[in-house]
Amino acid sequence: MPEKIFLKMTTALLLVSKTGNGKSSLANALLNTTRFQVGRGMLSSTASCMCISTRARGRDLTVVDTPGTMDVADEEKAKTEIRRAMEFCPNGFDGFLVVVKCDARFTAEERRAIEVVAEMFGDQFYKHAIVVFSHGDEFDNDETEFRNELQEIRKKIPYLDQLLTKCGNRFALVDNGRRCDTAVQDRQIEALLSKADSLVASNGGKKYTSVEQRNAEEAERKKAEEAEAKRRQEKLEFERRIREQVTAEVKQEQQQSVDWLGTTVKVIDIVSKVTSIPGKSNCPCCKVPWLSKACTATSSATHWGSS
């Protein structure tokens, strides 16, 4: 069987998730070690990628732990570190383990953390991914109970349902707590590695390599360029509409001024033809109430129509 051939090769796994979901604890459980530093609370203990390759659980295993996305001190640095993960495994990764806490709400931040990583690795990310639900002790490590609960959760959280579907419904439940039952954890880790073997087989033994990563980076670059071009175009279109609006308003004001002046000239012309009245100024604007106040004539000699 092809699986037997794949098992002779090193199994390389990359762990990704939001900070605080238990990546480092899972990495320790996979290798049966304590070399990966585990943080407490919501503070990230993993500032850069850490890789350990060793013989564990009857196979050669390479596990790469990564900084959490979205809520670490420097998100861009975290993304840069995750991109560097390929340097630790030049031959590529067999699988991405997307770690999600099963005892916490699946928030928008959780979703974005996964999307950030998926965008970095491209469409091939999901073909090589397994969703690992940590803190399995919340369900007493009862996988049947968890599966039943997960069915209901998927109905209520569309994105989680979409994520699992994109990942081929590959998922595992693991108790990676500090006081977990070692025997139970060993059984869960073996089941997880078995899923990883099946994943390798379904991909024909093809790993996610730097080629896929470069393709993903190129696609991400083009996407960013298209977004920037669209932003610039929208800005130009907005500025064009503003200019047209201002021009239209100026023309309207100018036309109103012309109309006003035209009306004024007509009125003055009519008044200037009125027969002069003895003892009254013949200034036409003085004969019109709304123009008389604006008349600047100081004597009858300077008034229009003065004799």
For tokens 């998926």, what's the residue? 118
Strand order in the sheet with 50-56: 50-56, 59-65, 11-16, 95-101, 129-134, 171-173
Residues 246-288: pLDDT tens digits? 988 888 888 888 878 778 777 777 766 665 555 555 555 555 5
Half-sphere exposure of 50 (CA within 13 A, CB side): 16
Measured CA to CA in angstroms, residue 20 lies from 43, 72, 126, 151, 238 at distances of 7, 10, 22, 24, 43
Residues 122-137: pLDDT tens digits? 989 999 999 999 988 8
Q: How many CB atoms lie within 10 A of CB 294?
A: 8
Q: Which two tokens mark 172?
A: 């595992």
42 or 222, which is more confident: 222
Measured CA to CA in angstroms, residue 82 lies from 64, 78, 79, 151, 235 at distances of 10, 6, 5, 31, 34
Q: Is the pLDDT of residue 213 over 90?
A: no
Residues 189-200: pLDDT tens digits? 999 999 999 999
Nearest Cα to 116, choosing from 12, 220, 208?
Answer: 220
- Write the CB contacts of 106 (distance below 8 Å, at least 6 apart in sequence): 100, 153, 157, 159, 160
Confidence (pTM)? 0.69
For tokens 């480092």, what's the residue? 24
Q: Taking residues 162-183, what's their average pLDDT?
A: 89
Please tell me the distance from the alpha carbon of residue 269 to that of residue 291, in angstroms, as a whole number: 13
What residues does 16 pair with on adjacent strands? 98
Query: Which secondary-structure segment (H or E) carries 131?
Result: strand 129-134
pLDDT the model gives residue 202: 94
